[in-house]
Amino acid sequence: MPDEVPTQPPPPPGPEPGTTAKSGSTGLPSNVAAAIACIPLIGGIIFYILEKHDPFVRFYAMQSIIFGCAWFLFNIVSMIVHGVFGAIPGIGGILVFFWAIIAALVHIAFLVIWIIATVKAFTGVRWDIPYIGPVARRQVEAT
């Protein structure tokens, strides 16, 4: 048998170019900082304050702030509707039950959107949450 030179397999593909670079202010890779910034409201506020240079992280931070505010606002509205429906004599219990189902479905939708945004950020893809993403993009570009 002739001497065979073992060949090494090609390296696995990495994240998209530019996402492994360290973000300017935090010292974390951009994709990791953006994924952590996706934690609704709190993560967004922290990374929007800390990160001054990386537009990728700042976009996800602003999107997280707006998304977290929308989720928080939904919780407040949900509690008010629950209280109002619960005060209606006779059919209040039925209305509260149906509202609880609707609120649970909306919360699941919020959770799914949060997971998708976090995964997209971690893989280095800029993803706009419907309605929220364009607003966040305008806010980041304005600063």
Q: What would the pLDDT profile of 74-121 be if each residue is shown by its tens digit?
A: 999 999 999 999 998 889 889 999 999 999 999 999 999 999 999 999
Number of folded domains that form the chain: 1
**Residue 24 belongs to some domain of the structure:** no
The candidate with the shortest Cα–Cα distance to 132, out of 74, 90, 93, is: 74
Half-sphere exposure of 100 toward its Cβ, with a 13 Å CA cutoff? 8
What pLDDT is recorded for position 20?
56
What pLDDT is recorded for position 118?
97
**Band (143; pLDDT cuts 50, 70, 90):** confident
Which pTM value belongs to this model?
A: 0.80
Average pLDDT of the chain? 87
**Residue 56 belongs to some domain of the structure:** yes
**Residue 122 belongs to some domain of the structure:** yes
The amino acid occupying position 104 is A
Q: Domain range spanning residue 95? A: 30-142
14 pLDDT more than 80: no
**Residue 12 belongs to some domain of the structure:** no
Q: What is the DSSP string of 63-130?
A: HHHHHHHHHHHHHHHHHHHHHHHHTSTTTHHHHHHHHHHHHHHHHHHHHHHHHHHHHHHHTT---PPT
**Residue 95 belongs to some domain of the structure:** yes
